[in-house]
Amino acid sequence: MNLAWYARRLASMSPVEMAGRARDELTRRRWRGRQVTDADADRAGVPAAVPAFAARLPAGGDDVAEEARLRLKEAAEGLLGGRWPVLGRERLDMAPAPDWFLDPVSGHPAAPRRPP
């Protein structure tokens, strides 16, 4: 595409579309600065002590079927073990340091952070 194409495209945009595209680009640039490429450099690491849940299960939780309890426990153990089914794929890279910028469908990471 050449410069004339971009000029025609810009001229055909409404002010609302221009504002929306500018807002999208600013959001992308802000998030790009938060991308962590090295797990050791991640400032938001896992806390040493995990706080207790603020919400408690109701006392009458005995009416939950045993099969449902077992499925929930298996799912939780899978997550803690680093397995996470997402978008129809089983991600096996979730522990100890997940790559949040990996596309689980294509297997490709997001574009590396560009200098500001």
Give me the number of domains the chain comprises: 2
Q: Which residues contact 99 (CB under 8 A, 6 or more apart)?
A: 93, 109
Tell me the pLDDT tens digit for each residue of 69-94.
Answer: 888 888 888 888 888 888 787 888 77
CA dist 77 and 79 (Å) reads: 5
pLDDT at 19 over 90: yes
- Asked if the structure places residue 26 within a domain, the reply is yes
Q: What was the pLDDT predicted at 16?
A: 94
Q: Print the domain residue range for 24.
A: 1-34
- Asked if the structure places residue 90 within a domain, the reply is yes
- Asked if the structure places residue 55 within a domain, the reply is no
Q: What was the pLDDT predicted at 43?
A: 63
pLDDT at 65 over 90: no
Q: By the 8 A CB rule, do 43 and 33 touch?
A: no
- Asked if the structure places residue 95 within a domain, the reply is yes
- Asked if the structure places residue 7 within a domain, the reply is yes
- Asked if the structure places residue 66 within a domain, the reply is no
Bigger pLDDT: 62 vs 87: 87
